[in-house]
Amino acid sequence: MRKNLLIIGNGYTGEAILDLARRSGWAARITSRNPGGAPGVISFDDPALLAGATHLVVTAPPGPAGDPVWARHAAALRAAPLRWVGYLSTTGVYGDRQGAWVEEDTPPSPGQERSRRRLAAEDQWRDLASGVAVDLFRTGGIYGPGRSPLDDVRAGTARCVVKPGHSFSRIHRDDIARAVLAAASRPPAPGARVLHLVDDEPSTQADVTLEACRLLGVAPPPPTPFAEAYARMSEMGRSFWDESRRVASRRTQQALGIAWAFPSYREGLAGIFAAERGEQGAQRPAQ
């Protein structure tokens, strides 16, 4: 049976999934609020949006009214010939764990409103799990070409914030695409599954900035004590530092039969830097 993939949300990650899907032989489309006639781009508001879709990836975040796909296309979702759904959520649903590790079976405990919305949206997608394989991808901080600490260093906005013991979990955008396509290609039986999209090495913000500076051959910014940096942060910026957890993904990689192409920020930044320089073999890995 032909596999028809629909991706909701033509943002940074959605476009990477679309590119890999097409290179892997999938019939794939992506939604936009303003499609403009581009090939394979369909309006999110099209009433026939889900017609023929066998596989669905949702990257759009929930709003105050919940998941936008359910709000606009609930009846069509239940009628579509879907065999698999992948929903990109966030590791923020685990809340603050004071640096402790969380696994795929750790109960969520969101502490912030946007994380509570994500968990509520996950529950909406679980409603399909009686007849469809539903993968809930909880992602860490996303970086990649054009959106990495290399860009921050070049722009002069990079900082080395010192907060001992505080690590962040990250994932390269192209490893997200590989994981999503691996899951879609070999969906399990109907039901809901939690998968973690984070690399193998939670790391401090300062360590990542230092590595970016090393690659670029520039002096790193001076260390900034956390209290000093926090006082100048926006409310959104503070929210990321208010929580600390380390997220494991060994079970996810085993379940999908893959290993990360970029297992830490070092390989990720090196790959981005090499691609920028046009070095051979620096393109995104195939699935």
**Quick check: helix, strand or coil at residue 73?**
helix
Looking at every residue in the chain, the average pLDDT score rounds to: 94
On whether residue 31 sits in a domain, the answer given is yes
pLDDT, tens digit, 9 for 90 and up, residues 44-76: 999 999 999 999 999 999 988 899 999 999 999
Is 281 part of a structural domain of the chain?
no
Domain membership flag for residue 155:
yes
Q: pLDDT value at position 238?
A: 92
pTM above 0.85, yes or no: yes
Tell me the residue range of the domain where 175 lies: 4-276
Residue 231 falls inside a structural domain: yes
Q: Roughly what angle, to the nearest 10 degrees, separates helices 12-23 and 173-185? A: 50
Q: Does residue 285 lie in a domain region?
A: no
Instruction: Give SS3 for 213.
Output: helix
Residue 286: the pLDDT is: 45
Task: Give percent of the chain above pLDDT 90.
Answer: 89
Distance CA 104, CA 98 (A): 17
Q: What is the pLDDT of residue 38?
A: 78
Compute the CA torsion angle 110, 192, 61, 248 (nearest 10 deg). Answer: 60
Instruction: Examine residue 286 and state whether it is found in any structural domain, yes or no.
Output: no
CB 251 within 8 A of CB 245: no
- Rounded-to-integer distance, Cα 268 and Cα 174, Å: 10
Which tens digits make up the pLDDT trace of 19-45?
999 999 999 999 998 887 778 899 999
- Say if 260 falls within a structural domain: yes
> d(Cα 116, Cα 112) in Å, to the nearest integer?
6
Helix residue ranges, H only, the chain? 12-23, 68-79, 113-126, 149-155, 173-185, 205-216, 226-231, 235-241, 250-256, 265-276
Phi first, then psi: what are they for 179, rounded to 5°?
A: -65, -45
Strands 133-139 vs 160-162: parallel, antiparallel or unpaired: unpaired
pLDDT level of residue 243 (50, 70, 90 thresholds): very high
Q: How far is CA 51 from the centre of its chain?
A: 26
The CB density around residue 112, as the number of other CB atoms within 10 Å, is 16
pLDDT at residue 134 tops 60? yes
Q: Note whether residue 132 is domain-resident.
A: yes
CATH number at residue 139: 3.40.50.720
The predicted structure's pLDDT at residue 2: 75
Residue 228, pLDDT score: 93
Q: In the prediction, which pLDDT does 36 show?
A: 75
Number of structural domains in the chain: 1
Sheet holding 55-58, edge to edge: 41-43, 27-32, 4-8, 55-58, 84-90, 133-139, 191-197
| Contacts (Cβ under 8 Å, ≥6 apart) of 174 | 16, 20, 144, 261, 262, 284, 285
